Amino acid sequence: MPDSLPSSSVVALRGGPLAHPVRNPGMPFDAAWLDGSRVNQSAVERRSATLATRRPVKKDAQAAWLLKAVTCIDLTTLSGDDTEGRVRRLCAKARQPVRADILDALGMGSQRIATGAVCVYHRFVAAAVDALAGSGIPVAAVSTGFPAGLIPHPLKLKEIEASVADGAAEIDIVVTREHVLTGNWRALYDEVREFRAACGPAHLKAILATGDIRTLSNVARASMVCMMAGADFIKTSTGKEGVNATLDVSLVMVRMIREYQERTGVAIGFKPAGGVSSAKSVLAYQILMKEELGRAWLEPALLRIGASSLLADIERQLEHHVSGRYSAFNRHPVA
């Protein structure tokens, strides 16, 4: 694994415009693809336990990797007390996620660095689109009765369509967990296929809610079914489950992405969400992507990180890198 990432070109580090690769057209449902999906949990645990320890990233290389991580963040606010003012402040932070003085000290002041997207409820899509106008940063809307996904199916489709009409370029849907827990893979496929159609030009990110679907074998099969149905990204969690993103479930999901690409030639994106709140933790996910899928999956086109507090910790670590001192979190506000 290389010790650093390219930093000589704007394209290497910016978010926004890189966010939309070729769409996943999906494929007809094929239950035979699921027959061999068995997961050796102990082997997964051994592999994920070594990811962040075998090849640590330090000093200048770590700063470069953390800047890259910033461009892959879906900067998120999904609270019951969200307001339009909070969303607009979040969008301002997405436009300039790292303080200008820190970027200057890193020799990156001339680079355009922005987050990969801003993620909000449907209620705030129009405000976010307005606040981000001209930036190239897409707005992602959580949809389909997020986070539980238990509203009537026709309402799920209407919610997707409404968010796309308001300007959302990405839709984060939640799957019906019951389909996974009962092994009704055709129902899961049909559901996601209809979500994909309702998205129109917007990219579809399928949230598996891995903390709710219980087994790694379920995670593997659900990942494959969602990709068959046309998901452009598969995502671990809503951030609202008791257990959210972990390296174990992420390893299973990225290996399904690798298998799908080997079979179809289509590259699918990955989004860990929930619990990725520190610079140290995000480096482990970046190493996972690099080692399992390759360099292309370090770009916002194929990697997103659902987070809010993560950005403050990254900015804090970057300030420590250039000054030698740790500052308080309140010096790095997000929204």
Sheet strands side by side (includes 203-207): 269-271, 233-235, 203-207, 170-174, 139-143, 117-120, 73-76, 305-307
> What's the rounded Cα separation, in Å, for the pair 168 and 119?
9
- For 31-331, which CATH class? alpha beta
3-class SS of residue 91: helix
> What's the rounded Cα separation, in Å, for the pair 188 and 201?
21
- Active site includes 290? no
Of 83, 81, 67, nearest to 15 (Cα)? 67
Residue among 93, 205, 235, 290 flagged as catalytic: 235
Residue among 68, 156, 166, 172 flagged as catalytic: 172
Residue among 68, 156, 205, 271 flagged as catalytic: 271
- Active site includes 271? yes
Q: For the segment 118-134, what is each residue's pLDDT rounded down to a tens digit? A: 999 999 999 999 999 99
Sequence ranges of the domains in the chain? 31-331
The answer for 144, left when phi > 0, alpha when psi is -120 to 50, beta otherwise, is left
pLDDT at 79 over 80: yes
Contacts of 217 (CB under 8 A, 6+ apart): 37, 38, 39
Q: For the segment 82-116, what is each residue's pLDDT rounded down to a tens digit? A: 999 999 999 999 999 999 999 999 999 999 999 99
pTM of the predicted structure, to 2 decimals: 0.93
Q: Which residue has the higher pLDDT, 175 or 12?
A: 175
